[in-house]
Structure 1
Amino acid sequence: MNGKKLLKILGSILLGILFLWLAFREVEFSDVLESARGMRLWWITPFTIATLFAHYVRALRWKMLFTNRERTPSKLTLYTGVMFGYLVNIPLPRVGEVARPVYVAQQVGESNSKIIGTIVLERVVDLLGMLLLMLFVVVFLIADPQVLSRLFGIDITDPATQIELTFTLLKYGGIALLGLGVIYWLFKLAGEKTEGKIFEIVVRIQKVIKTFVDGLLAVRELRNWPLFIFYSALIWALYIFMTYAGFWMFDMQAEFGLGITEAIVLTVVSAVGLSIPTPGGIGSYHLFITKSLFIFYAVPEATGLAYATIAHAATLVIIFISSPTLLAIDKFFGMKRERHGISNVE
C-alpha cells in the first residue's frame, strides 16, 4: 500500500472519529445505555430481511446493465459482489466500489474497466434518486424547510443555491465526459503514430478507456426501462422500511408519532451522512441521524444516538455475516460449474 492510499485511509478514520465525537460530546454515555436497555429485539427480523432484499434488488438492477449476454454474471455472483463491496467499504471507504466489479469480472472473464463503468452509472442513478427524494421531502414533508438548512449548513430552499448545485453537478459531469473523450482521442492519435512497446501501452490504455465508457453508456441498451426504474424505486422503498422498522426499536412510532413520512425524511438524511467517506459510515451516520431526530421530531439525543448506534451496528453485523457466507456459496457453485464445464454466466 503506497503512502497516498494510507493517508486517505487514515484521513477517513480520523473523519469518522471526529463525527463520533461530535455525536457523543453533548450526550452522556450512561443515558445512551439506559435508552438501549429498553430496546425491543423483534424489530431486527424485518430489518434484516429488508436489508438483504434491498441489496439483492440492487444486484438484479445491476444485472440489467450487462450488455454482453455471453458474459452476464449469475444473480448469485452479482449479489455476492454487491455484499463483498459493502464489506470492503467498512475498513476502506469507496474501495468497495472497485472491489465489487473486480470480483465479478474475475468470475466471468469480463473487463474490469467495463464493469467499473456500470458501477459509475449505477451511482449516478442513485444520486438522481436521492436528489428526487430530497426534493420530495423539502416540498411535501417538512413544514419548515429551513430546518434542513440548519442540519446541512446551507440554505437548500434558496433558488439560487438550488441552481448553483444543479449547475455544479452538470458542470463536473460534463467535464468528466469531455475529459474521457479527449484522453481517448489523444491515445487514439498517439496509437496511430507510434510503434513498438509504446504503441502496445497506448493501445492497452485506449482499450481500458473504451471499455469503461462502454460500461458507462450501457444505459443506452436497456431493454426494459420500466423494470429498471421499478428496481431503483424499490431499493429506496426498502431503505425507507429499514428506517421505519428501527422506530419500533424504542417505541418511537407511539411516543413521538414517527411513521413512514418521518422514515422518508430520515432515509434522505442518512443517505447524505453515508455519502461522507468515513469507514462504513461510522460517525457521520450517527451524527446526522441523532441531530435530525432531535431537530425535526424532538427525540432526545440519547435516544436518537442509541437508535443510530444500534441500527448501524445491526447493518454492519448483517454485512459481516452475509458477505463471507455468500463468497463461500458462490465459490462452491463456481467450482461445481467448472467441474461440469459450465460458465458462471446466465
Structure 2
Amino acid sequence: MNGKKALKIAGSILLGVLFLWLAFREVELSEVVESARGMSWFWILPFAVVTLGAHYIRALRWEMLFTNKEKVPTKTTLFTGVMFGYLVNIPLPRVGEVARPVYVAKQVDESSSKIIGTIVLERIVDVIGMLLLMAFVVVFLIADSQVLSRLFGIDITNSETQLDLILTLLTYGCIALVALGILYWMFKKIGEQTEGKAAEFVHKIQKIIRTFVDGVLAIRELKNWPLFIFYSILIWVFYISMTYIGFFMFDMQGEFGLGFTEATVLTVVSAVGIAIPTPGGIGTYHLFITKALFIFYAVPEATGLAYATIAHAATLLLVMIVSPTLLAIDKFVVMKKEGNTQQRTKNIQD
C-alpha cells in the first residue's frame, strides 16, 4: 500500500471517529445502553431479510446493464459481487465500488474497465433517484422545511442552493466526460506516432478508456426500461422498509407515532450521511439519524443513537457474515460449472 492510499484510509477513519464523537458527545453512554437493553430483538430477522432483499434487487438491476449476452454473470455471481463490494467498503471506503466489478470481471472473463463503467452508471442512477426522493420529501413530507437547514447546516429549501447543487453535479459530470474524451484523443495521437512496446501500452490505455465508456453507455442498449425503473424504485422501497422495521425494535412507531412517511424522511437523511466517505458509514450514519430523529420527531437522542447503533451494527454484521458465505458458494458453483464443461469437452473428444 502506497503512502497516498494509506493517507486516504487514515483520513476516512479519522473522519468516522470525528462523526462518532459528535454523535456521542452530548449523550450519556449509559442511557444509550439502557435504551438498547429494552429493544425487541425479534425485529432483527425481518430487518436482515429486507436488507438482503435490497442488495439482491440491486444485483438484478445490475444484470440488465451487461450488454454482452455471452458474458452475463449468473445472479449468484452478481449478488456475491454486490455483497463483496460492501464488505470491502467497511475498512476501505469507496474501494468496494472497484472491488465489486473487478471480482465479477474475473468470474466471467470480461473487461474490468467496462464493468466499472456500469458501476458509474449505477451511481448516476442512484444519485438521480436520491435527488428525486429528496425533492419529494422536502415538498410533501416535511411540515416545516426550515428544520432541514438546522440538520444540514445550509438552507437546502432555497431555490438558489438547489440550483447550485444541480449545476455543480452537471459541471462535474461534463468535466469528467470532456476529460475522458481528451485523454482518448491524446492517446490516439500518441499511438499513431509511437512504435513497439510504447505503442502497445498506449493502445492498451485507449482500450481501457473505450471499454469504460462502453460500460457507462450501456444504458443505450437497455431493452426493458420499465423493469429497470421498477428495480430502481424497489431498491429505495426496501431501504425505507429497513428504516421502518427499525422503529419496531424500539417501539418508536407506538411511542412517537413514527410510520412509513417518517421512515422515508430518515432514509433520505441517512443517504446523505452515508455519502460522506467514512469506513462503512460509521459515525456519519449515527450522527445524521440521531439528530434527525431528535429535530424532526422529538425522539430523545439516547434512544435515537441506540437505534442508529443497532441498525448500523446489524447491517455491517450481516455483510460480514453473508459475504464470505456467498464467496464460497460462488466459487463452488463456478468450479462445478468448469468441471461440467471440461467433462462435456472430454466426452465430445472421445
Q: 2:270 corresponds to which residue?
A: 270
The aligned counterpart of 1:143 is 143
Aligned twin of 1:75? 75
> Which residue of the partner structure matches residue 100 of structure 1?
100
Counterpart position of 2:334: 334
Secondary structure at the counterpart of residue 341 of structure 2: coil
Corresponding residue for 1:194? 194
The one-letter amino acid of 1:283's match is G
Provide the residue aligned with 2:115 in structure 1: 115
Aligned residues: 342
Letter in 2 for 1:48: A
Q: Give the 5 Å matches for 1:232-247.
A: 232-247=232-247
User: Who is 1:50 aligned against?
Assistant: 50
**CA shift for structure 1 position 154:** 1.0
Which residue in the other structure is 2:345 paired with?
none
Residues 262-316 of structure 1: CA distance to partner in whole angstroms, max 9, x if unpaired? Answer: 0000000010111110000000000000000000000000000000000000001
Deviation at 1:208, TM superposition (A): 0.3
Residue 192 of structure 1: how far off its partner (Å): 1.5
- Using the TM superposition, give the Cα deviation of residue 30 of structure 1 relative to its aligned residue in structure 2, in angstroms: 0.3
1:186-335 aligned at under 5 Å gives the runs 186-335=186-335
1:133 aligned residue: 133
The Cα shift of 1:153 comes to 1.2
Please say which of residues 177-186 and 285-294 is displaced more in the overlay: 177-186
- Aligned mates of 1:224, 1:193 — CA distance in 2: 44
Measure how far apart 1:198 and its partner are: 1.2
Report the Cα offset of residue 186 of structure 1.
1.1
Runs of 4 or more, structure 1, over 2 Å off, are none
Show the counterpart of 2:348: none
Percent identical residues = 76
Distance across 2 between alignment mates of 1:75 and 1:335? 16
Q: Does 1:165 align with 2:165?
A: yes
| Residues 203-248 of structure 1 deviation map (CA, whole Å, 9 limit, x = unaligned) | 0000000000000000000000000000000000000000000000
Task: Say which is worse superposed, 162-171 or 229-238, in terms of deviation.
Answer: 162-171
1:157 and 1:320 mapped to 2: Cα distance?
38
- Measure the CA separation in 2 of the matches of 1:189 and 1:339: 46
2:159 and 2:57 map into 1 onto residues whose CA distance is 35
The separation in 1 between residues aligned to 2:316 and 2:158, in whole angstroms, is 37
**What residue identity is the alignment partner of 1:233?**
I
Q: Distance in 1 between matches of 2:305 and 2:32?
A: 7
For the residues of structure 2 that align with 1:223 and 1:72, how far apart are their CA atoms? 15
Letter in 2 for 1:154: I
Q: State the shift of 1:6 in Å.
A: 0.2
| Aligned mates of 1:298, 1:123 — CA distance in 2 | 33
Distance 2:234 2:62 in 1: 14
The residue identity in structure 1 corresponding to 2:195 is: E
What residue in structure 2 maps to residue 39 of structure 1?
Answer: 39
Residues in 2 aligned to 1:295 and 1:112: alpha-carbon distance in whole angstroms:
44
SS of 1:242's equivalent in the other structure is: helix
Deviates more, 1:12-21 or 1:184-193: 184-193
CA offsets 1:31-60 (integer angstroms, 9 cap, x no match): 001111110011111111100111000000
Secondary structure of the corresponding residue to residue 340 of structure 1: helix
**Stretches of structure 2 lacking an aligned partner (at least 5 in a row):** 343-350
Cα deviations by residue, 1:114-169 (Å, 9 ceiling, x for unpaired): 00000000000000000000000000000111111111111111111111111111
Aligned CA-pair RMSD: 0.7
Cα distance in 2 for partners of 1:192, 1:62 equals 36
CA distance in 1, matches of 2:37, 2:61: 39
2:17 alignment partner in structure 1: 17
Give CA-to-partner distance per residue, 1:187-214, whole Å, 9 cap, x none.
1111122211211110000000000000
Q: Which amino acid aligns with 1:210?
A: R
Greater Cα shift, 333-342 or 302-311: 333-342
Shift of 1:253: 0.2
TM-score by length of 2: 0.97
Inter-partner Cα distance in structure 2 for 1:160 and 1:311: 35
Aligned counterparts of 1:31 and 1:161: Cα–Cα separation in 2:
38
Higher alpha-carbon deviation: 289-298 or 157-166? 157-166
Aligned-partner Cα distance in 2 for 1:193–1:224: 44
2:88 maps to amino acid: V
